[in-house]
Amino acid sequence: MDRIASPVETFPLQAPTPSAWVDEAVRRWPELLSDHANCEKKAASTALAMMFAYPEDRELASRLSRLAREELRHFEQVDRLMQEQGVPYLRVKPGRYASRLRAAMRTHEPWRKLDLLLCGVLIEARSCERFRLLAARPADGAAGGAALPAPVAELYAALEASEARHFQLYLKLAERHAQAAGIDDPRGTVSRRLKELAEVEAEAATGPDPEFRFHSGAPATGEAGAAGPASGEGGRAPREA
């Protein structure tokens, strides 16, 4: 089927998702859905955290309020799908993705806000890319055994466009912040910093990873981390979207 080119193709993610991750995600789709539901909640939570952190920024508040509502609607869609497909929630410890991004972020203003927004760009762009890859996989009954159930592939095809809008919004907010904060060469600075953070993101999203998550890297050899005893996200930001 012909697909409209996604904006993610022109976006500087520094490395594509490995096909081994897509294979693993299709094979472990119930775990994928369970972690995806977490990601949608975290995406809403990240947006709310930024609204609390920068209450004086009315434009950011109004944009991110809408985004948070949309992420919660995504959560409701995934949750409904999980119920229809009989998929239980799994308690898993957080993957390394968000913590690696968090470690790369600066902690003083105006750079902290810039880095938070740029991490939002990257997380949303990676989600967009992965939804697209997953939706392109064959539906039920395809040869080769592993296939996403058709309703899952359909939902992912629908979510791709939302995540594309989200990373574009975060990028716009980052450029606007750089300008408002009086940062020299705002567009150039945003672009250079985005590239630096994108390198960290690419390593986390593509390097060998012993655990399987929505944003994990290439599956490491051996049975990757299934359900663990703990759940929850340490720290406040960034969270996966």
Binding site for Fe ion (CB under 5 A): 40, 43, 71, 74, 124, 163, 166, 241
How far apart are CB 165 and Fe ion at their closest, in Å?
8
How near is the Cβ of 83 to Fe ion at its closest, in Å?
18
The string of DSSP codes covering 144-199 is TS----HHHHHHHHHHHHHHHHHHHHHHHHHHHHHHHTT-SSHHHHHHHHHHHHHH
Min dist. Cβ of residue 223 to Fe ion (A): 29
Task: Please say which residue, 24 or 40, places its beta carbon nearer to Fe ion.
Answer: 40
Instruction: Indicate the residue among 152 and 241 with the shorter CB distance to Fe ion.
Output: 241
Nearer to Fe ion, 33 or 43 (CB): 43
Nearest 5°: phi and psi at 222?
Answer: 95, 170
As measured in angstroms, the least distance from the Cβ of 98 to Fe ion is 14
CA distance linking residue 208 with residue 198, whole number of Å: 17
Q: How far is the CB of 155 from Fe ion (least distance, A)?
A: 11
Report CA 172 to chain centroid distance, whole Å: 17
Closer residue to Fe ion in complex, CB, 68/147: 68
Long-range contacts of 37-41 (CB under 8 A, 24+ apart): 37/75, 37/78, 37/79, 37/82, 37/89, 38/214, 38/240, 39/127, 39/214, 39/215, 39/240, 39/241, 40/71, 40/72, 40/74, 40/75, 40/78, 40/241, 41/71, 41/72, 41/75
DSSP string, 40-94: HHHHHHHHHHHHHH-TT-HHHHHHHHHHHHHHHHHHHHHHHHHHHHTPPP-----
* Residue 139 CB coordination number (10 Å): 14
CB of 167 to Fe ion, least distance (A): 8
Nearer to Fe ion, 33 or 147 (CB): 33
Q: How far is the CB of 95 from Fe ion (least distance, A)?
A: 17
Pick between residue 177 and residue 239 the one whose CB is nearest to Fe ion: 239
> What would the two tokens of residue 230 be?
């703990």
Q: Of 164 and 198, which CB lies nearer to Fe ion in the complex structure?
A: 164
